[in-house]
Amino acid sequence: MKKTLIISLAIFILTTLFSMACGTTTSNIDRIQERVDKNKCRMNREDLIYHIQDLEYLHDTTYIEIPQALVDDSLLSCPATGELYLLEADGDDRMIICPTGHGDSSL
């Protein structure tokens, strides 16, 4: 009984140390997921900008709002949260903004 308790305690300690050494704690996984979400959002915003610029070239215009009817629905929102992007115009500067806080991209 004593030997089994010592072995199980040693295995528990070794597994805990191994998981800490490998960096598999929940906070690390959450940070990795957050980085993945930010990258997915950034790439989606860049695709949206590309499509808007293409539409502006074809229609010889400048949009001050996202032309939702002319753009694929998958490009209109953050892929991680589903919230719609915002287009903020300040003079000649325009930015696509993720309301979730994943960042912004200049248009």
Domain boundaries, the chain: 2-106
Nearest of 47, 44, 52, 51 to residue 82 by alpha carbon: 44
> pLDDT tens for residues 10-46?
677 767 666 655 555 568 888 999 999 999 999 999 9
> pLDDT tens for residues 44-75?
999 999 999 999 999 999 888 999 899 999 99
58-76 b/e (C-beta count within 10 Å ≥ 16 → b): eeeeebeebeeeebeeebb
Q: What is the pTM of this model?
A: 0.71
Question: Band of the pLDDT at 107, cuts 50, 70, 90?
Answer: confident
- What is the reported pLDDT for 5? 59
> pLDDT tens for residues 69-106?
999 999 999 999 999 999 998 888 999 999 999 999 99
